[in-house]
């Protein structure tokens, strides 16, 4: 069977636009003489549509678009993700479904069985689970069709399975001769290797070819990396779609192909590409053409500026330097080197007159209280005022510059440096920021060496350094990674780090600053556990903290 895989980039809610792209891909497959053209999960409405699903008008429009696609089909099959409704006396009656059309009609529907309800997934909120799976006879093959999570429960691969049911095994037991999976599958570094290993094991065990069609693009904080995969009946990966891009390619289950063993690059290469792709797609779908970054002379804002220049084009990026009396000479001169290297536009406006005026106006209210973090935050918030004013006036998309380490421990100021539409590197630890910047400089210096080598500082008081109030970032990131991504408890982390008091103080900082993260810009997700709705913790709580 010749199968065309169309890994495309839908826009959530753009039913007409998505429908036209599906039809274009289908007609291309027809022209190429394939038997079947397949698209990803929920292709017609985009993934994840979230509470749009609860709107009857939205569901009606989806069903109408699906019917119109079916009417445009001929002998070549069209398989795509959509929503179907079958109401009875219990449940929502709404299903995440794979629809197969040909000969001008909707011929077969396979509903999704396994509904993920962890991390960023919340499908049990909206959908019912399929009550059965069936194979469908088409052009001499028995198609075993599944949807995303349905294929992630293979008993031979997972030591611990989330679900009792294995929909793909049931399809195999019913005589499937070809496996087809339509998927969304958000990106996280390491996930593509996991797909390779899991799907290789599955196809080797079942001795069946598999076409696994993934989504591309970004939907707010979620990045979809594409990289659709096709396997032969020996469990070998033989076709791989482009990463971080739309793609179209044809897989012939009867043809022999070279085996593909490498599917993922280095952390620095992959994550940098993902962040550029995520920012570019967010801006494009939101209607932004120009970006704004507050450039401090530090490594975080330097990296975000580089990413913005790659995503928007250097001619569409503007940075503003906002020195105060505490700013070092290098904060401006190092920034100017980066501006020159990237070829972007810039402004330089001191915050000091405004800070002085605000503090003077507040003196009668502060009374004899000594200076503390309040005055530091005033500086950050004046910078936020400048940034938001420029964003409003020139319709810039403001990018925040905080990294995951700082976001975790609250080393950022609400309504100050946290202002912005998208947190570009908020899922990248500080140590990883350094690694990525060195990767950017692998052939020539783009991020000035002075920025990489200087000790990190917020420069909000004389001679301030991050390590005045935090451990070294190597130690901090080790603690944070174990706590946030590995879900280790304080005692286990303390044994590894060797300093229980330090560990408890860091974990308290993480928990205490949940209120800031609830008000933060969405963060592009590149790890297995990012801040946002994939990590849900109460703001007010007193668990496990002495």
Q: Is the peptide bond before 48 cis (omega within 30 degrees of 0)?
A: yes
How many CB atoms neighbour CB 536 within 10 A?
9
Q: Is 230 a catalytic residue?
A: no
Residue 50 DSSP class: G
Q: Which is catalytic among the residues 148, 213, 230, 399?
A: 148
243 as an active site residue: the answer is no
Distance (Å, whole) CA 277 – CA 267: 15
The Cα 144–Cα 139 span in angstroms is: 13
Chain Cα centroid distance, residue 511: 23
- Distance CA(228)–CA(207), nearest Å, equals 19
For residue 121, the SS3 value is coil
> Rounded to whole angstroms, how far apart are CA atoms 476 and 502?
9
SS3 57: helix
Q: Which of 6, 41, 264, 285 is catalytic?
A: 41
Q: Could you tell me if 259 and 237 are in contact, meaning their C-beta atoms sit under 8 angstroms apart?
A: yes
199 CB neighbour count, 10 Å cutoff: 23
State phi, psi for 37 to the nearest 5 degrees. Answer: -115, 130
Cβ contacts of 47 within 8 Å, gap of 6 or more: 10, 12, 40, 41, 81, 184, 215, 219, 224
Q: How far apart are CA 28 and CA 24, in angstroms?
A: 6
Is 513:410 a contact under the CB 8 Å cutoff?
Answer: yes
Which residues, listed in sequence order, are joined to residue 398 by a DSSP beta bridge? Answer: 292
**281 phi and psi angles, rounded to 5 deg:** -70, -40
Of the listed 19, 112, 280, 404, which one is catalytic? 112
Does residue 148 carry a catalytic annotation? yes
Cα–Cα–Cα angle for 189, 405, 470, nearest 5°?
150
What pairs with residue 117 in β-bridges? none
> What distance in Å separates the CA atoms of residue 421 and residue 3, rounded to the nearest whole number?
40
Q: How far apart are the first and last CA of the chain?
A: 63
For residue 347, what are the CA distances in angstroms to 287, 330, 399, 435, 488?
Answer: 24, 16, 16, 28, 45
Element (H, E) at 233: none
DSSP E strand boundaries for 232-390? 237-240, 247-252, 291-294, 317-321, 345-348
What are the residue numbers of the active site? 41, 112, 148
């Amino acid at each position: 069977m010749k199968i065309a895989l169309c890994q495309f980039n839908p826009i959530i809610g753009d039913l007409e636009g998505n429908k036209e792209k599906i039809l274009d891909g289908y007609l291309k497959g027809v022209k190429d003489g394939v038997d079947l053209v397949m698209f990803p999960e929920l292709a017609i409405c985009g993934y994840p549509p979230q509470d749009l699903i609860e709107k009857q008008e939205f569901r009606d429009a989806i069903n109408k678009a699906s019917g119109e696609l079916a009417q445009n089909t001929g002998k070549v099959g069209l398989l795509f993700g959509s929503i179907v409704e079958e109401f009875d006396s219990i449940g929502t009656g709404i299903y995440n479904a794979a629809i197969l059309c040909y000969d001008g009609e909707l011929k077969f529907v396979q509903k999704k069985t396994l509904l993920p309800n962890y991390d960023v997934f919340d499908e049990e909120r909206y959908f019912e689970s399929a009550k059965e799976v069936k194979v469908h006879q088409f052009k001499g093959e028995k198609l075993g069709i599944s949807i995303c999570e349905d294929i992630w429960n293979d008993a031979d691969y997972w030591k611990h399975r989330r679900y009792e049911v294995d929909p793909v095994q049931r399809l195999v037991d019913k005589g499937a001769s070809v496996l087809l999976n339509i998927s969304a599958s958000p990106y996280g570094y390491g996930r593509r290797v996991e797909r390779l290993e899991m799907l290789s094991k599955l196809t080797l065990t079942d001795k069946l070819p598999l076409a696994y069609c993934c989504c591309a693009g970004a939907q707010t904080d979620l990045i979809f990396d594409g990289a659709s995969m096709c396997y032969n009946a020996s469990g070998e990966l033989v076709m791989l779609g482009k990463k971080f891009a739309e793609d179209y390619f044809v897989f012939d289950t009867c043809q022999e192909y070279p085996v593909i063993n490498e599917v993922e690059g280095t952390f620095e290469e992959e994550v940098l590409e993902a962040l550029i792709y995520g920012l570019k797609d967010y801006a494009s779908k939101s209607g932004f053409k120009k970006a704004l970054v507050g450039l401090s002379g530090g490594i975080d804002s330097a990296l975000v500026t580089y990413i913005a220049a790659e995503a928007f084009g250097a001619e569409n990026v503007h940075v503003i330097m906002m020195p105060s009396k505490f700013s070092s000479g290098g904060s401006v001169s190092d920034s100017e080197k980066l501006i020159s290297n990237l070829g972007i536009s810039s402004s330089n406006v001191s915050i000091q007159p405004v800070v002085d005026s605000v503090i003077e106006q507040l003196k009668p209210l502060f009374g004899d209280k000594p200076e503390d973090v309040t005055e530091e935050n005033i500086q950050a918030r004046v910078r936020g005022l400048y940034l938001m004013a420029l964003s409003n006036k020139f319709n810039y998309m403001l990018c925040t510059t905080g990294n995951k380490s700082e976001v975790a421990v609250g080393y950022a100021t609400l309504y100050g440096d946290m202002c912005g539409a998208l947190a570009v590197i908020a899922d990248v630890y500080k140590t990883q920021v350094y690694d990525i910047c060195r990767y950017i400089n692998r052939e020539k210096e783009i991020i000035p060496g002075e920025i990489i080598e200087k000790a990190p500082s917020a420069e909000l008081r004389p001679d301030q350094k991050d390590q005045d109030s935090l451990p070294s970032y190597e130690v901090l990131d080790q603690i944070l990674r174990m706590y946030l991504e590995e879900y280790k408890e304080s005692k286990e982390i303390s044994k590894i780090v060797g300093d229980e008091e330090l560990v408890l103080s860091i974990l308290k900082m993480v928990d205490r600053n949940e209120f800031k993260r609830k008000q933060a810009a969405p963060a592009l997700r590149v790890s297995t556990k990012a801040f946002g709705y994939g990590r849900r913790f109460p703001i007010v709580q007193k668990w496990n903290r002495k």
